[in-house]
């Protein structure tokens, strides 16, 4: 056990070190830009994973919260001249406030109804953003957003931004890890597996879910703000169906309910998106096929491949197998 | 308030609403019988419109024949989708089924964009430019056809579910699949035909509405949202609920668009489902489980 957890932390340290030197290996600005996109998607996917993976509810509204964060920080910095560094926590707060109100309403229903309700809320936020031209400039979007800066350190190029987002990804990953090993996190999983049973054990299902939902939306808002200050142009498209689908695809392909899964899924998504650029519209067909294929054939996502391999390895050495991915929500009659 | 304008808005709303009812009926049937919330339903509407267009332009058949062929072809595609995806997953968690229907929706929508091109198309119909005056209200013949054909289709579906032997099997499966299987009902067959019926209705709706609007490969997205709004309002699984809710949504949207703002009209429907889900989560017309 001791050597195992020692090996575990060694592997994590190695992984973090590899991520830290990656921009130096990239060699050109384009690859560095892709690394930033990878980390941004990993951050957003980690936040979505709290709802999809830990709470076990499908939300179609997540991109709207990314948009709320992006617009909050962009409007504050372009119209009120607020430094982007202050815009970042404001984006998280405003997105969390939206998450609190919407979650408070939507989490009263579960399953398909919850999914449709979040779709409705997301669509309303999109419609408002698209038509409230005085505030958001509508479909024209907001341009000339100033880059993020901490004192003299400006995040106006890919490499510093990469380290900023990497730090946030690691912080979020650590938060998720701490969450899952805490009482609150175990309450999340209990609610996901069997809500009535969790309630009978004294867990306040509604409050537990609301907590997870608000945390997820706050992180999404911060991610959106960083995106806005990095790309420096935002349009209502950031809240669109396309982005909703992309985030869900990232989480499911990587492996929901895990920490490595969304990060891995984001790598696959950005990697395929760029390497298949010539394929044009065929790309989205490939992603849709990957999503459907993963749901049907590999419900635990890519990370479950590793767990499968390790279990078969352990079986050869007569070691007890650890359960893979998310076995208990899959399969079994309702 | 001008009465003529008001009556015109109501008439437009009823026509739009009837198209929503056609889409929503399939959605609610699939939920009632198969317990699937099918996010890909709107894509069958899109396919219905496009197949009508291609049969009309490439094979040179007239509009009515093209619409009929399209409904049958799409029903067949629905059978294939059910066979490949939904039937094998029928005992899985509802989360898995939701996700797989989302995957299918993205697959068909993006596949459609690849095959048909992203540029808008226009479905030719001999009724599209002919105008009919009923009192003070003016409608194109095509819009009257949308309403009339939808009424005929819905009455047929209603009678089929209510009185035919197969309709009884569908209702039995909706109430209790295991119990229905025990009495010797072939559940697999019921699933297949229900899915085919639902997809055929969606395609019919697409074929009927197609000539009144421009069609894009992404209209399925719009259609499934309208379908969901109606189905949630009427109650998941309720056919009569879908009828009232669909007409209500059509009229409210039409009046809201006419008197308040076209831009925010889209948001009215979403606001309605949010209100309904929070106030009566099982819909305005629902009582118990099963097809009604």
pLDDT one-digit tens code per residue, A84-125: 888 889 999 999 999 999 998 888 887 788 888 888 888 888
Shortest CA distance from A53: residue in chain B = B95
Q: Where are the beta strands (DSSP E) in chain A?
A: 148-150, 153-155
Lowest mean pLDDT among A36-40, A66-70, A141-145, A242-246: A141-145
**Residue A273, min C-alpha distance to chain B (Å):** 15
Residues contacting residue B276 through CB under 8 Å, at least 6 positions apart: B232, B233, B283, B284
Hey, are the CB atoms on B95 and A123 less than 8 Å from each other? no
Q: Is the pLDDT of residue A333 over 50?
A: no
Nearest residue of chain A to residue B84 (CA atoms): A296
Looking at residue A334, what is its pLDDT?
34
Give the N- to C-terminal CA distance of chain A in Å, as an integer. 36
Q: Does some domain include residue A3?
A: no
Dist CA A66 CA A53 (whole Å): 18
In this prediction, residue A31 carries a pLDDT of 83
Structure tokens at A63: 């991109």
Average predicted confidence (pLDDT) for chain A: 82
Residue A66 tokens read as: 């990314």
Taking 50 as the pLDDT cut, the residues of chain B under it are none
Residue B130 CB contacts under 8 Å (≥ 6 apart), including other chains: B140, B141, B142
Domain boundaries, chain B: 3-279
Instruction: Tell me whether A242 touches chain B (CB under 8 Å).
Output: no
C-alpha to C-alpha distance for B275 and B248, rounded to whole angstroms: 15
The pLDDT value recorded for residue B203 is 93
Residue A220 located in a structural domain: yes
Confidence of residue A328 (pLDDT cuts 50, 70, 90): very low
CA–CA gap between residue A243 and residue A256 (Å, rounded): 18
| A16 vs B: CB within 8 A | no
Q: Taking residues A243-259, what's their average pLDDT?
A: 89
Give the pLDDT band (50/70/90) at residue A196: confident
What is the rounded radius of gyration, in angstroms, for the C-alpha atoms of chain A?
A: 20
**pLDDT of A61 strictly over 50:** yes
| Whole-angstrom distance, CA of residue A257 vs CA of residue A45 | 11
**What pLDDT is recorded for position A4?**
59
pLDDT number for residue A198: 80
**Helical packing angle, B141-163 and B239-259, nearest 10°:** 160
Q: Is residue A289 part of a domain?
A: no
A256: which DSSP letter?
A: T
- Per the DSSP assignment, residues forming a β-bridge with B121 are B215
Q: What separation in angstroms does the CA of A72 have from each of A234, A244, A294, B285?
A: 11, 19, 35, 40
Strand A153-155 vs strand A148-150: parallel, antiparallel, or unpaired? antiparallel
Cα dihedral: A315, A318, A324, A327 (round 10): 100
Q: Give the integer Cα–Cα distance in Å for B60 and B131.
A: 24
- Res. A325: pLDDT tops 60: no
Q: What are phi and psi of B220, to 5 degrees?
A: -60, -35
By the 8 A CB rule, do A106 and A125 touch?
no
For an interface test with A, the pick among B31, B36, B98, B99 (most A C-beta atoms closer than 10 Å) comes out as: B99
Residue range B3-279 forms a domain whose CATH class is mainly alpha
Q: Is the pLDDT of residue A5 over 80?
A: no
In this prediction the pTM is 0.84
Q: Establish if B117 touches chain A: CB-CB under 8 angstroms.
A: no
Q: Are B46 and B219 in contact (CB under 8 A)?
A: yes
Cα-Cα-Cα-Cα torsion A100, A209, B86, A327, nearest 10 degrees, comes to 150
In a domain, A247, yes or no: no
pLDDT in tens, A257-312: 888 889 999 999 988 888 888 877 788 888 888 888 888 888 888 888 887 887 77
- Does the CB of A278 have a partner CB in chain B at under 8 Å? no
Q: Which residues contact A67 (CB under 8 A, 6 or more apart)?
A: A125, A126, A129, A224, A234, A236, A238, A239
Which residues of chain A have a CB within 8 Å of the CB of B232?
113, 116
* pLDDT for the residue A315: 66
Structure tokens at B259: 């008197």
Is the confidence at residue A81, as pLDDT, over 60? yes
Could you tell me if B101 lies within 8 Å of chain A, comparing CB atoms?
no
- Could you report the per-residue pLDDT of B240-286, keeping only the tens digit for each? 888 988 999 888 888 887 777 666 677 777 787 778 877 776 766 65
Which residues on neighbouring strands pair with residue B140, listed in sequence order?
B131
Q: Say what percent of chain A tops pLDDT 90.
A: 17
User: For residues A48 and A224, what is the distance between their CA atoms, to the nearest angstrom?
Assistant: 13
* A contacts of B278 (beta carbons < 8 Å): 105, 108
Is A256 within a domain?
Answer: no
Of A225, A256, A235, give the one whose Cα is nearest residue A55.
Answer: A256
* Contact flag A128-B267 (C-beta cutoff 8 Å): yes
Q: Are B99 and A111 an interchain contact pair (Cβ–Cβ within 8 Å)?
A: no
Is residue A214, in this structure, part of any structural domain at all?
yes
Show Cβ contacts of residue A108 under 8 Å, excluding neighbours closer than 6 positions.
A206, B277, B278, B281
With 50 as the cut, is the pLDDT of residue A332 above it? no
- Which residue blocks in chain B are alpha helix, DSSP H? 3-34, 41-58, 63-81, 94-116, 141-163, 165-175, 177-182, 187-209, 219-234, 239-259, 265-279
Please report the ipTM that was assigned to this predicted complex: 0.79
> Which positions ≥6 away from B110 have C-beta within 8 Å?
A281, A284, A285, A287, A288, B217
B118 touches chain A (CB under 8 A): yes
Q: Is the CB of A69 inside 8 Å of chain B's CB atoms?
A: no
pLDDT of A99 reads 93
Asked whether the beta carbons of B226 and B213 are under 8 A apart, the reply is no
The pLDDT of residue A70 is: 92
Which of A133 and B227 is assigned the larger pLDDT?
B227
Does position A168 have pLDDT exceeding 80, yes or no?
yes
Q: Which domain holds residue A99?
A: 28-240
- Give the confidence band of A320 by pLDDT, cuts at 50, 70, 90: low
Confidence of residue A316 (pLDDT cuts 50, 70, 90): low
Three-state SS across B113-159? HHHHCCCCECCCCCCCCCEEEECCEEEEHHHHHHHHHHHHHHHHHHH
Q: Is the pLDDT of residue A1 over 50?
A: no
Note whether B277 contacts A117, CB cutoff 8 Å: yes
Is A262 a domain residue? no
- Let me know if residue A100 belongs to a domain: yes
A247 token code pair = 């985030």
Q: Flag whether residue B279 sits within 8 Å of chain A, measured between CB atoms.
A: no
């Amino acid at each position: 056990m001791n050597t195992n957890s020692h090996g575990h932390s060694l592997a994590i340290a190695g992984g973090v070190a590899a991520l830290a030197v990656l921009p130096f290996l990239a060699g050109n600005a384009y690859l560095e830009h892709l690394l930033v996109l990878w980390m941004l998607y990993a951050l957003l996917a980690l936040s979505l994973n709290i709802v999809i993976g830990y709470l076990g509810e499908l939300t179609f509204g997540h991109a709207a919260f990314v948009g709320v964060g992006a617009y909050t920080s962009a409007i504050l910095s372009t119209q009120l001249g607020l430094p982007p560094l202050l815009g970042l926590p404001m984006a998280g707060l405003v997105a969390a406030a939206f998450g609190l109100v919407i979650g408070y309403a939507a989490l009263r229903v579960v399953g398909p109804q919850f999914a449709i309700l979040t779709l409705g809320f997301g669509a309303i936020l999109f419609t408002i953003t698209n038509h409230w031209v005085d505030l958001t400039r509508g479909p024209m979007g907001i341009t000339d957003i100033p880059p993020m800066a901490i004192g003299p350190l400006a995040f106006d190029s890919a490499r510093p931004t990469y380290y900023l987002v990497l730090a946030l990804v690691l912080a979020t990953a650590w938060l998720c890890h701490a969450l899952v090993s805490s009482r609150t996190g175990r309450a999340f999983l209990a609610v996901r597996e069997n809500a009535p049973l969790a309630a009978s054990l004294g867990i306040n299902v509604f409050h537990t879910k609301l907590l997870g939902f608000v945390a997820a939306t706050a992180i999404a808002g911060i991610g959106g703000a960083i995106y806005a200050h990095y790309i420096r142009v935002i349009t209502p498209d950031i809240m669109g169906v396309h982005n909703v689908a992309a985030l869900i695809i990232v989480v499911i392909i990587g492996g929901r309910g895990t920490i490595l899964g969304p990060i891995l899924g984001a790598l696959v998504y950005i990697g395929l998106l760029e390497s298949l650029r010539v394929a044009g519209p065929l790309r989205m067909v490939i992603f849709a096929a990957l999503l459907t294929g993963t749901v049907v054939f590999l419900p635990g996502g890519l990370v479950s491949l590793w767990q499968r391999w390790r279990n078969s390895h352990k079986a050869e050495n007569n070691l007890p197998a650890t359960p893979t991915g998310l076995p208990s929500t899959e399969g079994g009659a309702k | 308030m001008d009465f003529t304008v008001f009556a015109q808005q109501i008439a437009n709303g009823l026509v739009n609403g009837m198209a929503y009812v056609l889409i929503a009926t399939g959605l609610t049937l699939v939920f009632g019988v198969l317990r699937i919330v099918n996010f890909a339903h709107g894509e069958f509407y899109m396919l219905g419109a496009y197949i009508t267009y291609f049969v009309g332009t490439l094979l040179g058949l007239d509009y009515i024949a093209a619409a009929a062929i399209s409904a049958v072809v799409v029903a067949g595609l629905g059978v294939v989708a059910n066979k490949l995806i939904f039937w094998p997953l029928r005992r899985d968690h509802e989360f898995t089924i939701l996700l797989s229907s989302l995957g299918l929706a993205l697959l068909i929508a993006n596949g459609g964009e690849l095959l048909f091109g992203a540029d808008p198309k226009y479905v030719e119909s001999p009724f599209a430019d002919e105008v009919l005056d009923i009192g003070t209200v003016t409608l194109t013949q095509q819009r009257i056809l949308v309403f009339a054909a939808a009424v005929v289709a819905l009455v047929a579906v209603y009678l089929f579910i209510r009185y035919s032997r197969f309709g009884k099997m569908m209702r039995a499966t909706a109430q209790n699949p295991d119990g229905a299987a025990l009495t010797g009902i072939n559940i697999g067959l019921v699933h297949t035909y229900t899915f085919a019926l639902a997809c055929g209705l969606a395609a019919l709706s697409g074929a009927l509405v197609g000539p009144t609007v421009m069609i894009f490969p992404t209209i399925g997205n719009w259609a499934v949202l309208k379908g969901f709004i109606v189905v949630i309002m009427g109650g998941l699984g309720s056919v009569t609920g879908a009828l009232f809710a669909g007409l209500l949504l059509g009229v409210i949207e039409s009046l809201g668009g006419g008197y308040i703002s076209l831009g925010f009209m889209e948001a009215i429907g979403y606001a309605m489902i949010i209100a309904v889900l929070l106030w009566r989560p099982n819909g305005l017309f629902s009582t118990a489980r099963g097809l009604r």
